[in-house]
Amino acid sequence: MLAELGISSVEELFQDIPRKALVRKIGLAKPLGEEEVVGRIDGLLDRNKPLGEFDSFLGGGYRSLYQPAVVDGLLQRSEFYTAYTPYQAEASQGTLQAIFEFQSLWAEMTGMEVANASLYDGATAIAEAMLMARRLHPGRRFVVPKSLFWERRSVLENYARGTGAEMAEVPWDPATGELDVDTLKRECANDCFGLLVEYPNSFGVLEESLPTLKSLIGDVPLVVAADPLSLLLLEPPGSLGADIVVGEGQGLGSSPSYGGPLLGLMATRKAHVRQMPGRLVGATRDRAGRRAYTLTLQTREQHIRRSRATSNVCTNNALVALSFLLFASSRGPRRMRELIESLAERTHHLADALSHVEGMTAPRFRGPFLTDFVVGLDGVDPSRFLEAMAERKILAGTSLADPRPGAAPLGFSGLLTSVDGRVDNRAIDRYAKAAAEVLAELRRSP
């Protein structure tokens, strides 16, 4: 190859790099063989304690459910796994049809008319929905629940920064944990371009007012962030007046993997599709009249529209979307419904068991819930409680407080609690027993 190029050394191909910019040494170690790589990484992973070593009560939008073998088996088909964006439609019908099916699935789950090919994760999907709402409606303020998990709120604020948009908050009802509808109505009438409602909210609570909200806010776009599995039981947001429905899809088909990759879901009404961010697959015909699929409405996207695109997003999380589709296809609606019912039943059993523990209020809020609820821990530092429980091989919940120094306090001491797919009644009993012991200890030595 060097001879073909008429050069004697590959160095000559780098002579266009200025001398002052040359790197002599990167500072990496020597190469390792595959067996050594495996040994090195296993050595690191051995220092982790995965969920399987605990009774896990961590939720908050992530789920660790049993994955049917067929999901990963099909996912690992080379032709799905190592393809790229289906720019050449004729060579990519497999990926394109799978995305079309995925879009159809998310549209059916949400009761919406169209869905995109996915975004990075649930938090950025909410943020993209906010930017989309801003394109749909005038106004400067985006109305969000005060209960919104701080992390999602922070992502929203970062996505809003370049637009001049501001956040307006709707507090929660101290008894139910649900939105304060009077404030909501007032805020939405004040220079507002969109309203976000979580379904269920970051406290796990179902907003019972949701069916009435669209009539209260008029033509202000209603953005609903929904949990996909819960939608097997819940009235779809599309039937409740939602304009954009987003969600985090990791729980169906993927492992939590310490937080990534995840799956951002987004659906909307047909009338809004040209303001939607992200890839879209459409059905069309080939020259012989066969049904075929292709990326479409690309004039919304960055590679065509550049600075006037609906978003800068270039990738979709296609493989995670495929997992979501495979999981749903493998389980089918009936077994997915049984799964969420079973999780909800165990979660309610957990709440009941914890309600008898001295020092705990379970649930902290009276509003209806499915698979997550807040446990009140009055007078106890949640982080000390979590550490002590982890020593007893129980991951007792997720802290809801913003950990950044100087951040606004949450206003109550509590944890978000859920049930892992593996939690059974005995694990719930262990939680209640250990919690009683730990809280007693913490009271003795505060």
Partner 1 sequence: MTEGQAPATTESRPPDFHQARWNEALPWEIRPPVAPTPVTSPFVPPALQRKASLRWPELTELEMVRHYTRLSQMNFSIETSFYPLGSCTMKYNPRVGEVLARRPGCADMHPAQPDSTAQGSLELLYRLEEALGAITGLPNVSLQIGAGAHGEFVALLLTRAYFEDKGEERTEVLLPDTAHGTNPASAAMAGFTTREIPSKNGCVDVRALSEALGPKTAAFMLTNPNTAGLFEEDVLEIADRVHGAGGVLYYDGANLNAIMGKTSPGKMGFDVAHLNLHKTFGTPHGGGGPGAGALCAGSLLKDYLPVPRILKEGRRYRWSYDFPKSIGKVKSAYGNVALNLRAYAFILAHGEEGIRRVSERAVLNSNYLGKRLGAHLDRPFKTLVKHEFVLSGSRLKERGVRTLDLAKRLLEEGVHAPTVYFPALVEESLMIEPPETESRHELDNFYDAFVRALSDTPENLHAAPRNLAVDRVDEVLAAKEPKLVWRDL
DSSP letter for 367, please.
S
Minimum CB–partner distance for residue 33 and partner 1 (Å):
8
Minimum CB–partner distance for residue 400 and partner 1 (Å):
10
Pairing status of strand 372-376 against strand 414-418 = antiparallel
Q: Buried b / exposed e across 22-43, counting CB within 10 Å, b at 16+?
A: eeeeeeeeeeeeeeeeeeeeee
Q: Is 246 in the site for partner 1 (CB under 8 A)?
A: no
**Residue 436 backbone dihedrals phi, psi, to 5 degrees:** -60, -45
Minimum CB–partner distance for residue 376 and partner 1 (Å):
18
| String marking each residue 195-214 x if it binds partner 1 according to CB under 8 A | -----------x-x-xx---
Q: Which is nearer to partner 1, 1 or 358 (CB)?
A: 1
128-147: contacts with partner 1 (CB under 8 A): 131
C-alpha 280 chain-centroid distance: 20
C-alpha 162 chain-centroid distance: 23
Interface with partner 1 (CB under 8 A), residue from 166, 182, 189, 305: 305
Distance between first and last Cα of the chain: 73
Interface with partner 1 (CB under 8 A), residue from 8, 288, 426, 446: 288
Minimum CB–partner distance for residue 4 and partner 1 (Å):
6
Residue 301 to residue 287: CA distance in whole angstroms: 26
Q: Is 314 in the site for partner 1 (CB under 8 A)?
A: yes
330-349: contacts with partner 1 (CB under 8 A): 330, 332-334, 336-337, 341, 344-345, 348
Residue 48 to residue 44: CA distance in whole angstroms: 7
Pairing status of strand 244-248 against strand 166-170 = unpaired
CB 330 within 8 A of CB 70: yes
247-266: contacts with partner 1 (CB under 8 A): 248, 255-262
Minimum CB–partner distance for residue 61 and partner 1 (Å):
7
Q: Which is nearer to partner 1, 53 or 182 (CB)?
A: 53
Interface with partner 1 (CB under 8 A), residue from 139, 177, 236, 253: 236
SS3 category, 170: strand
C-alpha 375 chain-centroid distance: 22
66-125: contacts with partner 1 (CB under 8 A): 70, 72-74, 76-95, 97-101, 103-105, 107-109, 113-115, 117-118, 120-124
Minimum CB–partner distance for residue 118 and partner 1 (Å):
8
Residue 299 to residue 285: CA distance in whole angstroms: 20
Minimum CB–partner distance for residue 9 and partner 1 (Å):
10
